[in-house]
Structure 1
Amino acid sequence: MTQAPFRIGTRGSALATTQTGHVAAELAELAGIEIETVLVKTEGDVTTGPLSQLGGTGVFAAALRQALLSGECDLAVHSLKDLPTTQPEGLVIAATPKRADVRDALCARDGLFLAELPEGATVGTGSPRRAAQLLAFRPDLKIVDIRGNVGTRLGRVKGSPAQADDGGVGRTNQGDLDAVILAAAGLERLGLESHITEYLDPEIMLPAPGQGSLAVEVRAAGSSNAAVDAALEKLDDHDTRLAVTAERALLARLEAGCAAPIGALARVFEDTLVLDSVACRPDGTDTMRRTATTQTLTVDGAIALGVALAELLLREGAAALAGL
């Protein structure tokens, strides 16, 4: 009897299907199996309004996770920065593939850099974290809350042609902004890096915890396919796992979601895991940056590092500063 295809769940946006396609291709090659993609519509795809007001974290993940738990698919691929820090019972993150570019990217009219934008320029972002750090660097900017797929957002920039992915929630007038901020990893995965006018240094803008990383999630009992389980072990990148574990542990201890003005970035340098963090007043008038390190390069060590740095931030007033 012919074995049924292995089913991978994904959102339907161009970025989600592209990311899932990369994971599916690697798993198919490593495990030697046939892969079938299952499209799942999530609350974040169909609900209008600011992301920060859509009921907290997980608006892009809940439906995918339900499809996985119900058996509609055998595995789900997420953008890790969109996942709540509390792992649901019955599911595990089986692999965090090697991380892509962690930075945020400015896509501006006329090839402008952030420092070159005219006074009072309009910059679109749906992220309070990005908005706060932008205003800390350039208090004169006018931040405009935007929604939609990558193509929809790029289309908001003056002089930008319509994009193939211009079909997301929140489409508004074309070309009404001076710039938008997007994750560099997403633009690069879609082959749209030509729109980037400046990669924003983490010294100016720390990324969201987990940014640039994917999470491959399965039921806790495993994928039900031994070859896939073995492939997932190979797909998991140890340094990425440590970095995102530390970042998400910090976020969890702060009891902050992906809509909070909190940035974090962990990196392994030789024998040391370094975690940088920032907590911002939403209007950008004050920021708190702190760093911690550990030489315990295990998942438990990464968790302890994130918790310790969060405790330091809390002692120094980060909760009141960021409105947590």
Structure 2
Amino acid sequence: MSPSTGTVVRIGTRGSALALAQTQKIADQLTARGAEVEIITITTHGDRSTESLATLGGTGVFASALRDALLANECDVVVHSLKDLPTAPTPGLSIGAIPKRADARDALCARDGLTLDTLPENARVGTGSPRRAAQLLSRRSHLEIVDIRGNVDTRLGRIVGGDLDAVVLAAAGLERLGRAEAVTEYLSLNGWPTAPGQGALALEVRSGEEKLVSALDHKPSRILVEAERAVLAQLEAGCAAPIAAHAFMEDGLLFLDARVYAPDGTAKITSSHALYLSDSPNPAADVAGRVSAELIALGAADIAPLGA
């Protein structure tokens, strides 16, 4: 899978601590398979701007600069957090590998060891995610949701500084940064499904160069995240939409649960379907099609901004 001797695989990444930690793990895995690697840091518009992610157009703003660098041959592989990647393909590029998925859950990090249910009324909870904001308000309508940006340490620092009572972050990111001790509650995927693809990384390459990273592909993880992301694509929703999805496999079945929330948390619509993996040549797309069709039939477009 690795390039010929003497060829350096250039891996492009954002410069945040989390992005660099994720990329280093991939670099180590490629090195262990005989590749020589170089990490190239790329600054995106999302990193430079202080506007909210929703204003910027969602987390896909982080992906565009990385993809531009890949197309310009400034690097050979880019490492994305899959939940940040738009569902529409980019001509000339391909997802060469989706490594084994990490923890897909959200985690509450709160002062004084508080949980979501023990936070006081009107507690200030920080998140930059419309999906998390809707879920928080759906569960605790009197919380004050504070739109925040910044890296993990910056967000956690606002709790220490007393500006916020809690923040909600991805468990996988906290674990990759060695900050799992900040978690006061892991939110169960059964009652709190997360962003499609959360916890997974995507290794994007130029089309035809998939062998650079193909040995790192984990087929079960790919099927699960493709099912979740297909819901976004079929609902024509951006990655910042208040939509959550969780897929898992058991006894040869692929299960998919997805929820669409009103942005203010006052309503939500749920659909769950399953099919045998052996019954379909493309089980991820098929189960997502059933879920998406039911969500639309139940009125998802009436409560959330779809068709974007």
Aligned to 1:101: 103
Matching residue within 19, 22, 29 for 1:16: 19
How far apart are the structure 2 equivalents of 1:299 and 1:119?
Answer: 49
Q: Is the Cα contact below 8 Å between 1:9 and 1:64 reproduced in 2?
A: yes
Alignment of 1:168-317 (within 5 A): 174-222=161-209, 229=211, 232-296=213-277, 300-317=282-299
Q: How many residues align?
A: 302
In the TM superposition, what is the alpha-carbon distance from 1:85 to its structure 2 partner? 0.2
Query: 1:55: how far off?
Result: 2.6
* Separation in structure 2 between the aligned mates of residue 141 and residue 264 of structure 1, nearest angstrom: 23
Structure 2 CA distance, aligned partners of 1:292 and 1:251? 16
Over 3 Å counting, the alpha-carbon distance change for 1:145 and 1:221 in structure 2 is same
Q: For residue 2 of structure 1, report the CA deviation from its aligned partner.
A: 7.8
SS in 2 for 1:87: coil
CA distance, structure 2, for counterparts of residue 253 and residue 301 of structure 1: 15
Displacement of 1:269: 1.1
Pairwise CA distance, 1:285: 0.8
Residue type matched to 2:166 in 1? A
Local SS of the residue matching 1:151: helix
- Structure-1 separation of matches of 2:236 and 2:5: 47
The reply to whether residue 52 of structure 1 matches residue 33 of structure 2 is no
Deviation at 1:202, TM superposition (A): 1.9
Contact 2:237 2:305 in 1 (8 A): no
Equivalents in 2 of 1:112, 1:245: separation in Å? 34
CA distance in 2, matches of 1:323, 1:63: 26
Residue aligned with 1:53, SS: helix
- 1:149-168 to 2 correspondences below 5 Å: 149-157=151-159, 160=160
Q: Could you tell me whether the CA contact under 8 Å between 1:5 and 1:35 is conserved in 2?
A: yes
Partner secondary structure for residue 90 of structure 2: coil
What residue number does 1:65 align with? 67
- Rounded to whole Å, the distance in 2 between the matches of 1:136 and 1:235 is 38
Q: Is the 8 A contact 2:124 2:164 kept in 1?
A: yes
More off after superposition, 145-154 vs 231-240? 231-240
SS of corresponding position for 1:21: helix
Correspondent of 1:36 among 13, 35, 38? 38
Q: Give the residue type in structure 2 aligned to 1:300.
A: N
* Secondary structure in structure 2 of the residue aligned to 1:8: strand
> Cα gap change, 1:147/1:20 in structure 2, threshold over 3 Å: closer, same or farther?
same
Cross-structure match for 1:226: none
Distance between the aligned counterparts of 1:196 and 1:314, measured in 2? 35
TM-score, with normalisation over the residues of structure 1? 0.90
Assess, with a 3 A threshold, how the Cα gap between structure 1 residues 84 and 212 changes in structure 2: closer, same or farther. same
The alignment partner of 1:302 has SS state of helix
Kept in 2, the 8 Å contact 1:134–1:205? The answer is: no
Matches within 5 A, 1:117-128: 117-128=119-130
Unaligned runs of at least 5 residues, structure 2: none
2: CA distance between counterparts of 1:269 and 1:8? 35
Unaligned runs of 5+ in 1: 161-173, 224-228
**For structure 1, which segment, 292-301 or 314-323, has the greater mean C-alpha deviation from structure 2 after superposition?**
292-301
In structure 2, the CA distance between the partners of 1:111 and 1:68, relative to structure 1 (3 Å rule), is: same
Q: Normalising by structure 2, what TM-score? A: 0.95
Instruction: Spell out, residue by residue over 1:207-237, the C-alpha distance to the aligned partner (whole angstroms, 9 max, x if none).
Output: 00000000011100215xxxxx2x6333111
1:74-118 deviations in whole A, cap 9, x for unaligned? 101000000000010111101111110000000000011111101
CA contact (8 A) 1:242 1:299 kept: no
**Which residue of 8, 12, 16 maps to 1:5?**
8
Distance (whole Å) between structure 2 residues aligned to residue 316 and residue 46 of structure 1: 40
Tell me how far apart the structure 2 counterparts of residues 234 and 320 of structure 1 sit (CA, whole Å): 43
Q: Which residue identity does 2:242 align to in structure 1? A: P
After TM superposition, give the deviation of residue 4 of structure 1 in Å. 4.2
Shift of 1:299: 6.9
Identity of aligned residues (%): 55
Mapped pair 1:85 → 2:66: no
Detail structure 1 runs of 4+ shifted over 6 Å in the superposition: none
